[in-house]
Amino acid sequence: MSETGAQDDQIEDEGREGAEPPAEPGESLFEAPPIGEQERMVEAILFASAEPVTVNELNARMPHGSDAAEALVYLKKRYEGRGVALSRVGDAWVFRTAPDLGFLMQRETVETRKLSRAAIETLAIIAYHQPVTRAEIEEIRGVSVSRGTIDQLLEMEWIRFGRRKMTPGRPITFVVTQDFLAHFGLENARDLPGLKELRAAGLLDNRPPPASMPGLPDEEEGEDDGAGVAAEDQGDMFEA
């Protein structure tokens, strides 16, 4: 081998010795961002995400070399005692309202419920004939009253159970509630509408004549009596 060739081999060997080893597969050639910057990245991803995000998903979005798990530790401490908390859901993370402030997120809505014809008739009979039993309601209506109709009115808190009647079987009675009066702007049972108002409201279409419904005021009797409920019966209105 010539002297020149020997020198070239020596330079090549020295170059190999001074060269850095090749990067391992998957290892970044760039330095990872500072942990503070990683924390900001995790915060931004979680804030914009509608669903919880796993650590693997965070690492996949962040620059190579980032450690989302470590950033989460710092971020969780940062949000301690704040209105928003960093919560873990399974193996994922998400921002949520602090548990003690959950009441601020409650929203009350008014649910409109339309009463059936049977429920309207049953409610009217109870209002004008209270305290009245289920059998008496059925006798006045001429048809049976389903359990669902009574349950609906009880659930709405427009009627309640009254005293038991002193008749065989001691049947339970029904009366209207303060909520019923408040809903219709009534002060007491005397303020219930008369026959003319009920017809104008369409509540007496195809109904039996007043003679078959004792207690309901007739047009000829005037409307001073309002509901036509006897004064002595009105005291029973809200008694258990």
- pLDDT tens by residue, 203-237: 555 445 444 444 444 443 333 333 333 333 433 43
Nearest to 158 by CA among 136, 182, 194: 182
Structure tokens, 188 = 């007491």
Question: How much helix, strand and coil, in percent to the nearest 5, is found in the chain?
Answer: 45, 10, 45
- pLDDT tens by residue, 133-169: 999 999 888 888 888 889 989 998 888 999 998 888 8
pTM given for the model: 0.41
CA 15 to chain centre: 72
Compare 58 and 112 and report the one with higher pLDDT. Answer: 58
CA-derived radius of gyration, the chain: 40
Compare 13 and 32 and report the one with higher pLDDT. Answer: 32
Phi, psi angle pair for 50, to nearest 5°: -80, -15
